[in-house]
Structure 1
Amino acid sequence: MADITWEAPFCAEGSSCFRLGTDADGNAYIAVAGAEDHYLTDTHDALRALIAEIKSGKADHLL
């Protein structure tokens, strides 16, 4: 398993909290807070695009 450095949880109003993480190989991770052993991984750019969509309100139903 990768050595993931997790950021503090992000909790939107009325939805689940999630955490973002990175590793030394340049991968990015996203997981529901409290379930970091079950995560999605992709490039930084792909997850940055997903997060931008979530924050703009276009994809909040995915979480």
Structure 2
Amino acid sequence: MNPEITWEEPYCGQGNNCFRIGTDPTGNAYIAVAGQEDTPLTDTHEALRALILEIKAGRADHLL
């Protein structure tokens, strides 16, 4: 796991779709399947936050 990334608590939807979002000291954002934080996707914090809000609202759970 990258020690420079600060990960939030995992979010688990219905079923087994668990993921985490994290940020590094320079403000980059990351998203990873819980337990696979060594291979995260990266994008802007705003883009990932918007995706997570859609997932939590049940509108984008098919993306994971």
Identify the residue that residue 60 of structure 1 maps to in structure 2.
Answer: 61
Q: What's the C-alpha RMSD, in Å, of the aligned pairs?
A: 1.5
Identify the residue that residue 16 of structure 2 maps to in structure 1.
Answer: 15
Identify the residue that residue 45 of structure 1 maps to in structure 2.
Answer: 46
Paired residue type of 1:38: T
The total of aligned residue pairs comes to: 63
1-side partners of 2:9 and 2:35: how far apart? 11
Paired residue type of 2:7: W
TM-score, scaled relative to structure 2: 0.86
Paired residue type of 1:4: I
- Identical residues among aligned pairs (%): 70
Unpaired stretches in structure 1, ≥5 consecutive residues = none
Deviating runs (4+, > 6 A) in structure 1?
none
2:16 match: secondary structure: coil
